[in-house]
Amino acid sequence: MCARISLTTTGAEIADLFGLSYDLNNPRPRYNVAPSTLLPVLRVVNGTRELADLRWGLIPHWNTNPKHTGYVNARGETAPDKPAFRDPFRRRRCLVPADGFFEWKHVGKKKRPYFFRKAGGGMFVYAGVWDRWHGPAGPVDTVAVLTVPANDLVKPLHDRMPAIVEEGRFGAWLDPNEARPAKLLPLLTPYPVERMEKWAVSDRVNKASADGPDLLAPVAEPATPTWTQPTLFEVA
């Protein structure tokens, strides 16, 4: 699952990565982006690439429940067949830039957060799908991040990870003339382990409203307690 990401990249870097010919307003660095907030998304509308802010949590266009909070993620393998994602997968695919993502490891009764990013830093680009829901307050464009089976770096914490699209595959994923899952699903593969890194971070990130660069600072992992059976002749 991918339910928290960081996005501190400048507007110029995003524009350059996606080949946009216009300047972007420099976004505020966000170190703990949570569902229901806005995400910058690259999509194709009327044959033109555009970067737009979409609400994270896809609400299907046919939804009639005004309290629906949306789907944060969608499994890449099954999205072409699921009612909520079938039409967006074929017609409304997008790309979501991010610096990295968080996952949690269960340690006893607690969950310890870890940050995952490209080895040495840089931008990830996640595969996404979007839809337009006409809610009580008017139309709302919403997005879900697709996931794939976790690689060996992520797997000890979770069995899923974001579907990260390689730069040379951006055009193929966004192609409005392609709707065949047989052509699109091969673009979604686990990111190579050797090109990623992770470290433990402060549990302050557990709070969705927390923000700031200190959330990405490495913290020491607690030592794993060890216990051995005392021998018969051991002195207490």
Who contacts 211 (Cβ-Cβ below 8 Å, separation ≥6)? 30, 31, 32
Is 103 part of the annotated catalytic residue set? yes
Residue 116: strand, helix, or coil: strand
**Cα–Cα nearest to 167, from 127, 128, 116, 121:** 127
Q: Is 168 exposed, middle or buried (0-12, 13-18, 19+ CB in 10 A)?
A: exposed
**Among residues 13, 77, 94, 103, which one is catalytic?**
103
**Cα–Cα nearest to 34, from 5, 65, 66:** 5
Q: Which residues of 127-147 are buried (b: 16+ CB within 10 A; e: fewer)?
A: bbbbbebeeeeeebbbbbbbb
Whole-angstrom distance, CA of residue 47 vs CA of residue 95: 15
Q: Are 154 and 193 in contact (CB under 8 A)?
A: no
**Cα–Cα nearest to 70, from 34, 97, 32, 36:** 36
Structure letter (DSSP) for residue 20: -
The number of angstroms, rounded, from the C-alpha of 57 to the middle of its chain's C-alpha atoms is 11
Just list the catalytic residues.
Answer: 2, 103
